[in-house]
Structure 1
């Protein structure tokens, strides 16, 4: 911005109208004056800014800010914290970040404040503002304006006058003059005069005197090089109303926007010094003239007099435009439509400038309509079948806790399928919240990470990372828990060590051609361990032990701090056991971003593993798709889930316990029971066990909400059950059925299978040795759970001997010739020729 910014702290339209020819207006927003500011922003010819003056950004305040944006407010002045909160709730918000000194009225000196103008490319430009307090001298303000600062001055201290004004009032012109530069010997300033539609009227010159007089009279006043001050239209009657004054990017040209009246700007009675307007501007001028004095019998006068005819012609031309196909037809029909539409506008006193202002206003909106046409303009189409919803109910605190129930024998296929649908994740909405967080950490490193941890975790940290070796006082856990971790650690290590491919796989594909494949560890890996409603040290085992087995050189942990600012001691103990390099003390999208891009203190990781909420998942997907990050992830993920297949021989208490162990993860977890050939009474026994065990759990409120959207599906045969399970592809599949092991070959899609009544999911979650970081949301159709290979990449090599070249050389040359890659063909040919292996014809 190169022009003054003038404040109008009180929403006083009468005061503002005498000042709005220069700069921008700033209003205090206190949460209750939304409508007053909206009224001004709709009528103002200049940008309106809002300075937040509210104690907290409630949902109501955010809605008010949204209304301000949608009604033409150009920007909201906010602190970094307030700005981030607005961005998280309003997409494409226009925020100007400020420091507290911007409005520090207690300081009796001039307060300087550096403000970054927020754009989609954050920190793209930085503008310095000066808050001018009563008592600051005009010379001080002029000097700092000349240095490039933008003054913020209370409206009561400003005047359009420039002579004989009180000592405590500043002439507006004095905030323009210091910025102006000219290389002309006479000291005049080049001035471009345009109308409200930015149509050029002519090139003139201005002086300090003419600018001052123009602001005072709010008319077009310029400096004639021959005759002195030139009050435009004083003799010809072609006067100008001054709308605004602005400067170009180099401050060496004035742009004066006026409302021209009379015969036109030029002394030759043309619209501009470059001739008359054409196109829409010329048509508007003609229509205005016809409205005032149309000859009798003219078609335009008939349109103005006959409202029904005019409206019918607009509809007729709109229809013809939609039917036009070629470029020439579309241009012709659009011209007809514009003529009749503009005739209606002129009839009701609407100018092209009014239309353009509305277009500009709509471009400022941050709330978008869906944009569908009215039904009467849309061709009737066959209605899509109504989506079948899975059964859901609200379980009150006194209600029995049990799954919904659907019988596949009597329900429609659509009703059964609805029970297998996952909760919808609004990825676009989530990404709009996550992207600013990731970009903030990417750009600002540790500083952003500390600020975001303070905001989301309510913890003030001095450093976002703990580096090894970790002190003993951070690993204070009981001997019982330590023993449990050690047993689990060893079982996980044994199972994943067995997966570790250490030998080089070599195959002789043709005589003398040896192809090999060997594993190499990914050097730097990030292990994300969630916090939130449950502390999960088991996840740290499941991620870091395979990384240790694979031979990763650097293992980085990330986990959010508790309310006391400390990490879970069990997680620190695991980090110690695997030799982790450091622990990022942060959670959510910000932790993922820190590991993906690295910061001043946190190493950049090559791959990030671990589960998390929808924000963690969105951040992982975001960095994985950013080629600048060069960071892979283990798999996409959604809420945790379990599918239990049970028959009439299953113990109801065992089945209930498996369902509940998953339901307590979170309210968005999904629990499904496939009851095979079970009667209603047998299913009732499971429901009773679910209710009894749930009421005894500390996390019963979470269980209650999860169970409300979980379902028991009664199925007749085991084959149907496995077909349905494979279609669903569960994260956890539990087989509580007779002769369970014999049915495992029927499993095609699942993260992990728990076989038999004595194999609860809990064992796999902690200590059996298999990994509990598994694909969810149906991704088990194409992803594996975390394993040793997750932390490795596989490299191939080949050795081709003379005999081997003789065997495959001709095939290589023939295929290269087909593809037109002569360099490939030649690389084989020169070798075979030197070895005497080249057949005739090659």
Structure 2
């Protein structure tokens, strides 16, 4: 069967029209490539392989070697001319090519595995059920696209002419209509048989779909099906076992849909099992178990040790690999392979790598058309007595064109080193720099469909929904109330004296700095005689402070959010933080809540906590503003409720993963630089750290890189650090001015200046959340105890937003006070402008007063 639909995209403007998330759920895209954009296209296809397969039209590419690079990067098919096919056939599998033909006669000369690329007008003429037929349009409409789809061909439609929400975009072509156009049903009710599978293709269960439910699935990004009794079935809306839609396709006969989903909650089945056919087995079961162990393994358990001790895990992987190599019988080979898979998957889960990521990498390798020689390397070859051939020297480029900025590992011969990729910023183009500085992708739009039902459930069921979510997501099955109210029992904040002293010092420093930001008196201006205008401060009455749980306990965030609220004079301070499995809150957070006068702590995390704060429940008081960082579910929840006028709630700022940019010159201490980079890398695998090295030699760069590795391997969160370093970079700059320019482009959450005369460089900084000046100012002092706030704009939002400060907790009210003289002075201007705007009542409000004054 043909692909359901190809969305035509442009590399230079890939965000136009259909979103990247929606494009991913469609699973396929179409790209026109020329000699001018071929290099960009190779990178684009390679970087987006896991999201969707690309059909690449290379009919305008003159070099067959470039076509090979495009296929090697992961293009599913290349559209070629008949002349190109004659030159390429035999070099690539026929299934990787589609030939541009003008009529049925040209098509008949081609092998059946070769696809066809035709004008939509001749689809009926070249109709062949066993072929992949791609149809292009001179001018596409919903009717012409449906006609082509019903003939079994794949319509190619520009991305900006497609929509997943036809009600909101009536002039665009609905994706769901095209996808379902070629699906047939033999049922009297017309429902479409649908198999639901996880990302590995394991069947979760059988359901039914309709064109309407498919439309809703694409629109919401979740699993939505057609119940034979109850109409549209939003999977997980009541149970919490929601599904994030990955993509939709169909079987070869076009009579069965397949939904790929990421299943959340207990499982797909109503019996709380992973599938309707029982629990997961094999590798899927192991993956689920390891994910659970990562979150809940008891301290000291073997699996917990593996997650925290990278050297132990590395040793076990190598031990099991050797035992597998030495095994000889089928039974022993299976036994040792299972052990190796267990430890290898433990490493993957520890770094946030899923089975889907592994399978995407396997698929990407299968798409390569350039084959490696496959020789054993280095010490492994030497151990087995294999001679290692010297590498063949790459031919030098024949053109004088400048080479693109290519990432180069600092120590290519050191296997297993934790090292950031390097780029020379002075030779990179603006586009290359933009790609280099691009942050790890966030999927807020993707998860709105998951967050929406959670928010709705809390709004509808209140406390009970919070308790259910605490049991499901936080394993707090014994929790009786979702709220811990003040006054807090002493045993709930039992801490050692050293921790209490640290919190008290931090509390006082934060209080002093934020108290200094107070506006002591109103601003009063007489704009003209008798016209007095004022502006004064009022605290926001009710604030909700979200303190994340997850991979770390964060009493510092409780301080950063709670102390300014106290200083501002907010009448109601509410904390929210995920409960521990035993249903309690971490004592550090309870102690901070006690110190700032928080009236209660909501024992909830994620979008459910945000919903409770926004709308209130039986036990949770509603607030006027929600502040605090969190994961993507928290961010999506904050964005959702702030856009709901019925919630009447605002938020502090958009939030993303933590990040730091360090500018270092030859005066910088390599150990200091490395420690600052790692202090942010340990936050999470989606964190990003950037080093801008100012005119450093290779030796100086190597010293920093050695420190990064040596310090990282000693950290308990080393696997998280590895995940962050994987998408972090070192930029080499010639001057401090160039370095600061790069920082201003990036607009980091934290900017650290480890350069000579650092204080003088501050004046050059335009965009940063918070700046840490000089060698003796690590970012961690800002996180905890210096006094500045650590709740800062991330993801480039430092261009538009300030970090949390006293102003975050107050609003400004203005007032006007006029005398009769004042109204006479300004009245004529007011009446004239009201007349211009045709607002007669406005004009009369002044005129009546002036007439009254004249009669006195």
| Pair in the same fold by TM > 0.5 | yes
Smaller-chain TM-score range? Answer: 0.5 to 0.7
Look up the match of 1:685. 703
Contact 1:623 1:631 (C-alpha < 8 Å) held by counterparts: yes
**Judging changes above 3 Å, is the alpha-carbon distance between structure 1 residues 632 and 68 closer, same or farther for their aligned structure 2 residues?**
same
Q: How does 1:23-422 map to 2 (within 5 A)?
A: 42-46=185-189, 63-65=203-205, 69=209, 74-75=226-227, 84-89=240-245, 399-422=416-439
Contact 1:515 1:797 (C-alpha < 8 Å) held by counterparts: yes
Q: What is the distance in 2 between the residues matched to 1:554 and 1:427? A: 30
**Judging changes above 3 Å, is the alpha-carbon distance between structure 1 residues 394 and 611 closer, same or farther for their aligned structure 2 residues?**
farther
Q: How does 1:245-644 map to 2 (within 5 A)?
A: 399-460=416-477, 461-644=479-662
Q: In the alignment, is residue 739 of structure 1 matched against residue 751 of structure 2?
A: no
Q: What is the distance in 2 between the residues matched to 1:438 and 1:397? A: 48
**Deviation of 1:64 (Å):** 4.6
Of 41-50 and 734-743, deviating more is 41-50
Under a length normalisation based on structure 1, what TM-score does the superposition of the two structures give?
A: 0.57
Contact 2:409 2:420 (C-alpha < 8 Å) held by counterparts: no
Look up the match of 2:59. none
Q: What is the distance in 2 between the residues matched to 1:65 and 1:742? A: 64
**Judging changes above 3 Å, is the alpha-carbon distance between structure 1 residues 665 and 394 closer, same or farther for their aligned structure 2 residues?**
farther
Look up the match of 1:818. 836
Structure 1 residues 592-644: Cα deviation after superposition (integer angstroms, max 9, x where no partner)? 11111111111111110000011100000000001111110000011111111
Q: Secondary structure at the match of 2:662?
A: strand
Contact 1:643 1:671 (C-alpha < 8 Å) held by counterparts: yes
Q: Secondary structure at the match of 2:846?
A: helix
**Judging changes above 3 Å, is the alpha-carbon distance between structure 1 residues 578 and 412 closer, same or farther for their aligned structure 2 residues?**
same
Structure 1 residues 750-797: Cα deviation after superposition (integer angstroms, max 9, x where no partner)? 111111111111011000110000000111111111111111111000
**Judging changes above 3 Å, is the alpha-carbon distance between structure 1 residues 391 and 788 closer, same or farther for their aligned structure 2 residues?**
farther
**Judging changes above 3 Å, is the alpha-carbon distance between structure 1 residues 686 and 44 closer, same or farther for their aligned structure 2 residues?**
same
Contact 1:491 1:767 (C-alpha < 8 Å) held by counterparts: yes
Q: Secondary structure at the match of 2:520?
A: coil
**Judging changes above 3 Å, is the alpha-carbon distance between structure 1 residues 829 and 522 closer, same or farther for their aligned structure 2 residues?**
same
Give the number of aligned pairs: 512
Q: Secondary structure at the match of 1:84?
A: coil
Q: What is the distance in 2 between the residues matched to 1:655 and 1:788? A: 31
Q: What is the distance in 2 between the residues matched to 1:652 and 1:553? A: 47
**Judging changes above 3 Å, is the alpha-carbon distance between structure 1 residues 42 and 815 closer, same or farther for their aligned structure 2 residues?**
closer
Q: How does 1:785-804 map to 2 (within 5 A)?
A: 785-804=803-822
**Judging changes above 3 Å, is the alpha-carbon distance between structure 1 residues 718 and 76 closer, same or farther for their aligned structure 2 residues?**
farther
**Deviation of 1:833 (Å):** 3.3
Contact 1:806 1:837 (C-alpha < 8 Å) held by counterparts: no
Look up the match of 2:730. 712
Q: Secondary structure at the match of 2:792?
A: coil
**Deviation of 1:419 (Å):** 1.6
Contact 1:395 1:708 (C-alpha < 8 Å) held by counterparts: no
Of 399-408 and 665-674, deviating more is 399-408
**Judging changes above 3 Å, is the alpha-carbon distance between structure 1 residues 837 and 731 closer, same or farther for their aligned structure 2 residues?**
farther
Out of 750, 766, 769, the position equivalent to 2:768 is: 750
**Judging changes above 3 Å, is the alpha-carbon distance between structure 1 residues 83 and 59 closer, same or farther for their aligned structure 2 residues?**
farther
Contact 2:544 2:623 (C-alpha < 8 Å) held by counterparts: yes
**Deviation of 1:565 (Å):** 2.3
Look up the match of 1:28. none
**Judging changes above 3 Å, is the alpha-carbon distance between structure 1 residues 658 and 80 closer, same or farther for their aligned structure 2 residues?**
closer
**Deviation of 1:391 (Å):** 7.3
**Judging changes above 3 Å, is the alpha-carbon distance between structure 1 residues 510 and 480 closer, same or farther for their aligned structure 2 residues?**
same
**Deviation of 1:826 (Å):** 2.0
**Deviation of 1:81 (Å):** 9.2
Q: What is the distance in 2 between the residues matched to 1:657 and 1:684? A: 15
Contact 1:427 1:618 (C-alpha < 8 Å) held by counterparts: yes
**Deviation of 1:427 (Å):** 2.7
Look up the match of 1:224. none
**Deviation of 1:823 (Å):** 1.9
What is the CA RMSD across the aligned residues, in angstroms?
A: 3.5
Out of 657, 666, 675, the position equivalent to 1:657 is: 675
**Judging changes above 3 Å, is the alpha-carbon distance between structure 1 residues 452 and 398 closer, same or farther for their aligned structure 2 residues?**
farther
Contact 1:539 1:610 (C-alpha < 8 Å) held by counterparts: yes
Contact 1:404 1:712 (C-alpha < 8 Å) held by counterparts: yes
Q: Secondary structure at the match of 1:835?
A: helix
Q: In the alignment, is residue 834 of structure 1 matched against residue 852 of structure 2?
A: yes
**Judging changes above 3 Å, is the alpha-carbon distance between structure 1 residues 700 and 827 closer, same or farther for their aligned structure 2 residues?**
same
Under a length normalisation based on structure 2, what TM-score does the superposition of the two structures give?
A: 0.56
Q: What is the distance in 2 between the residues matched to 1:661 and 1:495? A: 24
Contact 1:735 1:754 (C-alpha < 8 Å) held by counterparts: yes
Q: What is the distance in 2 between the residues matched to 1:482 and 1:523? A: 29
**Deviation of 1:802 (Å):** 2.8
Q: In the alignment, is residue 730 of structure 1 matched against residue 757 of structure 2?
A: no
**Deviation of 1:512 (Å):** 2.1
Contact 1:662 1:671 (C-alpha < 8 Å) held by counterparts: yes
Q: What is the distance in 2 between the residues matched to 1:416 and 1:49? A: 48
Contact 2:525 2:532 (C-alpha < 8 Å) held by counterparts: yes
**Judging changes above 3 Å, is the alpha-carbon distance between structure 1 residues 91 and 398 closer, same or farther for their aligned structure 2 residues?**
closer
Q: Secondary structure at the match of 1:438?
A: helix
Structure 1 residues 652-696: Cα deviation after superposition (integer angstroms, max 9, x where no partner)? 111111101010000000101111121222111111111111111
Of 79-88 and 730-739, deviating more is 79-88
Out of 782, 787, 791, the position equivalent to 1:773 is: 791
Out of 689, 710, 721, the position equivalent to 1:671 is: 689
**Deviation of 1:398 (Å):** 5.7
Larger radius of gyration: 1
Q: What is the distance in 2 between the residues matched to 1:81 and 1:507? A: 55
Structure 1 residues 527-559: Cα deviation after superposition (integer angstroms, max 9, x where no partner)? 000011111110000001000011111111000
Q: What is the distance in 2 between the residues matched to 1:395 and 1:522? A: 55
Contact 1:513 1:799 (C-alpha < 8 Å) held by counterparts: yes
Q: What is the distance in 2 between the residues matched to 1:62 and 1:84? A: 21
**Deviation of 1:49 (Å):** 11
Q: Secondary structure at the match of 2:795?
A: coil
**Deviation of 1:447 (Å):** 1.2
Out of 805, 812, 817, the position equivalent to 2:823 is: 805
**Judging changes above 3 Å, is the alpha-carbon distance between structure 1 residues 471 and 562 closer, same or farther for their aligned structure 2 residues?**
same
Q: What is the distance in 2 between the residues matched to 1:444 and 1:396? A: 58
Contact 2:425 2:731 (C-alpha < 8 Å) held by counterparts: yes
**Deviation of 1:451 (Å):** 0.9
Q: Secondary structure at the match of 2:240?
A: helix
Contact 1:652 1:685 (C-alpha < 8 Å) held by counterparts: yes
Q: What is the distance in 2 between the residues matched to 1:466 and 1:47? A: 52
**Judging changes above 3 Å, is the alpha-carbon distance between structure 1 residues 63 and 622 closer, same or farther for their aligned structure 2 residues?**
farther
Q: What is the distance in 1 between the residues matched to 2:271 and 2:737? A: 68
